[in-house]
Structure 1
Amino acid sequence: MASRFLRAIVATILAVLFETAVIAGCTLAAPNNAAPTFGMTCLAFAIVAFLAGRGPTSVMVAVGALELAFILPGEGFAVSDPDHAMGLIAVIATGVIMAWYVGRRDTLSALLAADVAASRQIAEWRGVAHSELAHRLSNDLSIMVSMAAIKARDATSPEARDALVDISGRLVVLGRVYQRLEVRDRDTQDAVAARQFLLDLCDDLQLSTLSVGSISLRADIAETLRLPVRTLSLLGLIANELLTNVRKHAFPDGDGGEVLLSLHRHAFRPDCAELIVTDNGVGFRRGDAKDRNGRSLLVMLASQIDGTIAYARISGTTVATLQFPVPSAVRNRAGDGPAGDAGAADPVPASVSPTG
């Protein structure tokens, strides 16, 4: 506080000395013409106002008015020439306006700086709250997984045991989805790159869900496609459910096979994206209650992103297709248009990280 006051005193003294030098120099250079003195004094006011601020400018205006009144012809500080008097009034008015303007500018700058500081603090609080919520969610999911595992171990009915194991697996995947999104959502609030997120999820599923037998999972995902966090989280759950169904129903005996998961813009609907999972397993089993329940869950998840899901059996290959809209705010991003999928990489095994 003391150093700030000292700087203001020094700035005021320098401003007054500068103004005095300007007035004296102009008076000596043109003793019979006051116009250059008035003009250079106004210029001095402007320079000091924008460099030193309102305080030094106000003092400078007061001292400069006294100096001009004393130098101009007249009795003491009384100016006898009406033209000189009008010029002096104009100079004083100019100085006062400049002092007011820079004072208002400094006030607005201080308010803006305060708003920016408040916004940063709010952003920091949000980040802390987001991390705390994610941490609590992770802990809650871990507790639920442990409880489901304990109940499955104690269950006497095979159906109940299978149901609890199934629930436990879904909770594990849900936790992985949110952990990955929590990391990627630190710096982007609106949209997240879908490629790396789904590749990492496929790696997890290859090591867990598809580890039984020799099921090979490949991923073909558009490099430029970005999706809202909520859409991507549900898409991760849908992909998990589809691949879990493939492992259970397409390869029920643990036989080996190939599975391809792809995500691209829709070929004919630029406002939509398309997730496709194909496998060369045994195909559908009509009338399977578990299969119907799995499909009902997928339809419910797809409806959460306004999507539709369909199944087909083509030349020994089962195809599950999910079509869902991409919000316009994400769709209009630079490089993320309908042609943005042209640079998508070739399909890669899920256990291999992409190079592009």
Structure 2
Amino acid sequence: MRLSRRTALDTGVVPWLADAEQGRRRLQRLYVVAAAGLAALVPLILFAGFWVRSELNKSERDIESYLSSRASMLSRRVDALLEQQILALKAIAALPALDGPASEFEEAANRVASDVPNWTGLALVDLGTGQVLASTRPEWPPPQALGAVPTLRSTRKPSIAALVGPSLRPGVIVFSVPVVRNGEARRVLVSGYDASELLRIVSAESQDSGLLLTLADQAGTVLARSRAPETAIGREITAHFRQKIENRDSGLFHGPSREGDEISGAFVRSDLTRWVAAAAIDRRQIDKFSRSSVWATIAAGALSLILAGILAVFIVHTVMERRVSEERLAASRALGELDARLLKTTQEALGEQRKASSEREVLLREIYHRVKNNLQIVQSLLRLGSRELNPEQREPFENAVRRIGAMARVHTLLYNSPDLASIDFKVYLDELLKEMSEAFGGEERGIEAVLDAESMRVPLDTAVPLAFIAVELLTNAYRHAFPEGRRGRITVEVRKDEPFGALRIADNGVGLDRSALMKRRLGLTIVRKLVQQIGGAIEEPQDGSSSFLVRFPLDHVERGNLKDMRLGAMA
């Protein structure tokens, strides 16, 4: 019975399950390919939409650039015309006929004016009184044209003004050029130019029927206009346009026109006359590009959303098929939570450890500080106790004070040390030499103390004995090396030869002999004991010399390593 069931399973069920699993895998691959295709299409469609929008915006910017160029072209054409008239007047102002009788001026002026048909008149005006000395026409110049004459005495620069308005048809452009003789301006040439020439320039520049060109003077009066000039010339520009161009030399503007249409344009202010040339078009042409840009973006966004929705359906379907992995995911999440708790516990432990380390550092600094203060108190007590003693009795107290001071100085450097376990021996020796020289009157006695040392970190258990050794050897040098006012030098050298250090203290005094060594047995005994304590070795001076060399370990070195080493001389 069991054999028959196994046979049935092998011959029918297993192939069916294999086929189903293979079909499911093919369907899953199809889902993945479709989802990948949709995922790739979404950013492509979005990119195409934004590209279309950028192109449409570029078209809008091209229109703005076109308007700016047309306004600049109109301003340059007008400036060229005005500069041409100024040059003609300057040529007349240089004629000798202006210095002679009025008849000669009128004859020369009529001859020149016949070559410039657009001139409405030419007059010679006295700069001081404003009186017309000669004129080509009886009615020229009108009183309005003499407004700029008084200012020409100080500026000596030509001026240009426009006289237009409903009562001044077609209007004139007034040019005033000073006549300079011997560096002084006494007369002024005042000419009039037909302002209709400005309208001709504006009409020639307005090739596009949809383009609106406007020319206005610095006061905001319309001098020429390509559209409805009969109702605009001589009137003020609109308040909205005046607000847009105020205190600006060029730029863009949007707003209503004189006829009430919404326009967009560009303006340029002339450097020669400060007149404003503007070019504008109907705002609807630009709005058309803006609307197209918006609709392109909306279409791209909508299509992207549709594709994203289809992609979401595929993703949801795939997720539903993969629900069999939820238990594994839950186990992984539980493991992650366990890891998080372990990490939190570890961080808390590390925080407590850092806190304890910080408290230990503060405690050590406080201990070093208190030890230093206590040693200084002991020094002060010894000094007070030795004040009433004679010099021979006071010497042991002074020696004790110096030795205690050496220890206190070590604790001071430890208090300021970053690692609280070592000091910079070079810094220590520098301070020690200054203090010893001051205590024994080194400068007054002519004894020079020289330090030649490398920067070297020395641990605490080595620093204190080395401090005592340096104090003892320096005390011997100051006391006995320079008797009877003898001058000299004390040299302190420190070198590093990893993992050892070497300290040499020498002087060029009278030198030592065996009897001197016997007399100073206590100090040298202390030095030998201290060298032995730090596991170092000492080389004592020969007869007639006073050079002590101490070798000592810098770090964890076997104390016996130095005993068999030969102490060579330091360079």
Q: 2:494 aligns with which of 263, 280, 287?
A: 263
Question: C-alpha displacement at 1:93, in angstroms?
Answer: 1.9
Matched, 1:120 2:354: yes
Deviations 1:312-342 (A, max 9, x none): 248x64210001122259xxxxxxxxxxxxx
Matched, 1:88 2:323: yes
Distance 1:111 1:30 in 2: 39
Alignment match, 1:165: 398
Alignment match, 1:306: 535
Distance 1:110 1:102 in 2: 12
Question: CA contact under 8 A between 2:375 and 2:404: conserved in structure 1?
Answer: yes
Distance 1:120 1:110 in 2: 15
The CA RMSD over aligned residues, in Å, is 2.8
Look up the equivalent residue of 2:522 and give its one-letter code: N
Distance 1:275 1:30 in 2: 79
Question: C-alpha displacement at 1:190, in angstroms?
Answer: 5.0
Matched, 1:200 2:431: yes
Deviations 1:193-213 (A, max 9, x none): 433332233233233345361
- Deviates most, 291-300 or 209-218: 209-218
TM-score with structure 2 setting the length: 0.40
Question: CA contact under 8 A between 1:220 and 1:260: conserved in structure 2?
Answer: yes
Distance 1:210 1:101 in 2: 76
Q: Secondary structure at the match of 2:451?
A: strand
Structure ID, larger Rg: 2
Question: CA contact under 8 A between 1:278 and 1:318: conserved in structure 2?
Answer: yes
Alignment match, 2:332: 98
Q: 1:176 aligns with which of 395, 399, 409?
A: 409
Which of 1 and 2 has higher RCO (CA within 8 Å, sep 6+)? 1
Question: C-alpha displacement at 1:131, in angstroms?
Answer: 2.5
Alignment match, 2:343: 109
Q: Secondary structure at the match of 1:312?
A: coil
Question: CA contact under 8 A between 1:181 and 1:233: conserved in structure 2?
Answer: no
Alignment match, 1:28: 313
Alignment match, 2:169: none
Q: Secondary structure at the match of 1:287?
A: helix
Q: Secondary structure at the match of 2:541?
A: strand
Structure 2: which 5+ runs fail to align? Answer: 1-308, 558-570
Question: C-alpha displacement at 1:122, in angstroms?
Answer: 1.2
The alpha-carbon distance between structure 1 residues 30 and 143, as it changes in their structure 2 partners (threshold 3 A), is closer
Distance 1:145 1:240 in 2: 15
Q: Secondary structure at the match of 1:263?
A: strand
Deviations 1:167-214 (A, max 9, x none): 12222232223212321x2x2245444333322332332333453611
- Deviates most, 243-252 or 206-215: 206-215
Q: Secondary structure at the match of 2:506?
A: strand
Aligned length: 248
Look up the equivalent residue of 1:132 and give its one-letter code: E
Matched, 1:215 2:447: yes
Deviations 1:46-76 (A, max 9, x none): xxxxxxxxxxxxxxxxxxxxxx5xxxxxxxx
Alignment of 1:1-356 (within 5 A): 28-29=313-314, 36-37=318-319, 68=320, 88-89=323-324, 91-155=325-389, 159-183=392-416, 185=417, 187-189=418-420, 191-209=422-440, 211=442, 213-223=445-455, 225-266=456-497, 270-288=498-516, 290-313=519-542, 317-327=545-555
Distance 1:174 1:142 in 2: 10
Question: CA contact under 8 A between 1:273 and 1:326: conserved in structure 2?
Answer: yes
Q: Secondary structure at the match of 2:470?
A: helix
Bigger strand share: 2
Identity of paired residues, percent?
23
Question: C-alpha displacement at 1:290, in angstroms?
Answer: 4.7
Distance 1:202 1:317 in 2: 21
Question: CA contact under 8 A between 1:249 and 1:284: conserved in structure 2?
Answer: no
The alpha-carbon distance between structure 1 residues 30 and 246, as it changes in their structure 2 partners (threshold 3 A), is closer
Structure 1: which 5+ runs fail to align? Answer: 1-23, 38-67, 69-83, 330-345, 347-356
Look up the equivalent residue of 2:470 and give its one-letter code: A
Deviations 1:279-334 (A, max 9, x none): 011112433455111100101111221111121248x64210001122259xxxxx
Distance 1:191 1:168 in 2: 23
TM-score with structure 1 setting the length: 0.62
Look up the equivalent residue of 2:334 and give its one-letter code: W
Question: C-alpha displacement at 1:144, in angstroms?
Answer: 1.3
Distance 2:528 2:553 in 1: 15
Distance 2:449 2:368 in 1: 29
Look up the equivalent residue of 2:431 and give its one-letter code: D
Distance 1:325 1:202 in 2: 23
Question: CA contact under 8 A between 2:493 and 2:504: conserved in structure 1?
Answer: yes
